[in-house]
Copies of this chain bind each other. A is one copy, B any other.
Amino acid sequence: MFEFSATYTDHYELTMGQAYFLAGQKDVLAVFDYFFRKNPFEGGYAIFAGLLDLLAVLEAFRFDKEDLRFLKEQSFDPDYLTYLENFRFKGTVYSPPEGDLVFPTRPVLRVEGNLIETQLIETVLLNILNFQSLIATKASRMRLVAKDHMLIDFGLRRAQGPGGYYASRAAVIGGFDATSNARAARDYNLQPSGTMAHSYIESYESEIDAFRSFAAARPNDCVLLVDTYNTLYSGVPNAIIVAKEMERKGQRLKGIRLDSGDLSYLAQKCRAMLDEAGLSYVRIAASNQLDEYVIRSLMDQGAPIDAFGVGTSVVTGQPDAALDGVYKLAKAGGHPVIKLSENISKITLPDKKQVWRAIDNEGLFLGADVVGLEDETGPVEMHHPFFPHQSCVIKTKETEPLLHPVMVRGKIVYDPPSLPQTAQYARERLKMLPAAYKRFENPHIYKVGISSMLKTLRDRLIDQHKKYPTQLY
């Protein structure tokens, strides 16, 4: 829906592309890894999301007329502009399925192609994957605590502009049931959902007039907002009157919604009032600044809330604004490369790599992903990149490779699952992760190690750069 022309990128990708082009480097092959360094929300995992949107953007990646006009104005080289005019992304992408669990420091996805094409797509790749993975992860945390209660995304009005469109999709991957976002529902085939606003009530002379008019217009899907004037003395009594009127017409009031006050207390009072009126089928929805912690608290209190409407926190990932995903060169022109850093956790992993996940005898994740070279058959031991005493033998023979080709030479090469299938896959993978990794507070740390062969290569490359002394301050 967002029209991603090829200038949807950082300007430096374009200037680096020109430098490669003019230096005759454009056909040099490159391998890039996408990975992140820190789980969001101080949690123990992240859910990988955004892949299908990314692949669609890569297939359609074009410089349009406006792009070329703009670049010409910016004094780009005419031959390079001609090259860009005909540019198509012909690279190859290896990835896990959308919805898989991913962990810090290991490659999440790998891109191969020439230096220019792999560089030009960097920004849009990071923009799409960082954001959708952040939101799918946030949504999954709410799903964990909401159990099988309904979760609805109400966030579009507080979303970061059109980010809200993709947030609604990612929230479903993470376990949400429905969205208020009609456009996302339309395009991604999501379940649209919504009730009514306070303004609707206020536009009528009285609350009960507003309820009656709304019930007449929407008899099969009528949820009444009960807190405009006074929840327990006005909203709920009026909703009960209208529900009884609906019953006489053979209709059923679907629910009421609470949007302020002490949601736990009010839900209990409302439930009792509805039950006493013989309306035990009328459901209770609640909204107002919900996040995974508030939902957990409401669930712990046994609040009789059937559906949670979540806004800002699920569409923005608040308090985390971004997954810190990066895109780093691992190989160029046939040579494995490395980026050094004073911060050892920022030293990159060289060469073309595969990632294996260890599975235990019960079919659960053993708690370790091992990064090795692509042509290894599967690791039998894993090393901490820097601390030999933290290395260990992998005690299971069952390891699954995680990176599979999804795009080859610019074409999608697999049959993409539907969004419900992706959400189902995320749910299954999350079930395979032991509970200790899913705790909100101090989760167990999922281990990521490297194979012996990768360790040897990495040590050699670090040695090559040893000529530089450490900068002592």
Contacts and interface: CB of A to CB of B under 8 A. Distances in A.
A370 to B, nearest CB: 24
A199 to B, nearest CB: 4
A78 interface: no
A19 B221 CA distance: 12
A246 to B, nearest CB: 14
B199 A119 contact: yes
A18 interface: yes
Given A8-B183, A16-B214, 8 more contacts: A12-B180, A15-B221, A19-B213, A67-B186, A160-B163, A163-B163, A260-B341, A312-B321
A74 interface: yes
A308 interface: no
A202 B228 CA distance: 61
Contact of A10 (B67, B70, B154, B312): B154
Contacts of A337: 202-203
Contacts of A197: 12-13, 16, 119, 122
A202 B338 contact: yes
A323 to B, nearest CB: 8
Contacts of A341: 260
A60 interface: no
A473 B262 contact: yes
Given A341-B260, A346-B260, A229 B465 contact: yes
A131 B218 contact: no
Contact of A127 (B157, B218, B265, B318): B157
Given A262-B473, A312-B321, A322-B316, A161 B465 contact: no
16 contacts: A1-B2, A2-B2, A2-B161, A8-B162, A13-B194, A20-B203, A23-B216, A127-B164, A131-B160, A162-B165, A163-B163, A203-B337, A228-B339, A229-B465, A232-B471, A260-B342
B22 A185 contact: no
Interface stretch (A25-33, A271-279, A440-448): A25-33
A196 B16 CA distance: 6
B160 A167 contact: yes
A3 interface: yes
B182 A159 contact: no
A39 interface: no
A23 B202 contact: no
B160 A339 contact: no
B203 A340 contact: no
B473 A265 contact: yes
A316 B312 contact: no
Contact of A1 (B3, B19, B158, B199): B3
Contacts of A214: 16, 19
A161 B131 contact: yes
Contacts of A126: 157-158
Nearest to A80: B217
A449 B269 CA distance: 37
Contacts of A154: 10
Contacts of A181: 10-11
Interface in A98-156: 115, 119, 122-123, 126-128, 130-132, 154, 156
A192 interface: yes
A193 B123 CA distance: 14
Given A196-B16, A318-B322, A183 B7 contact: yes
Nearest to A155: B322
Interface stretch (A326-334, A357-365, A383-391, A397-405): A326-334
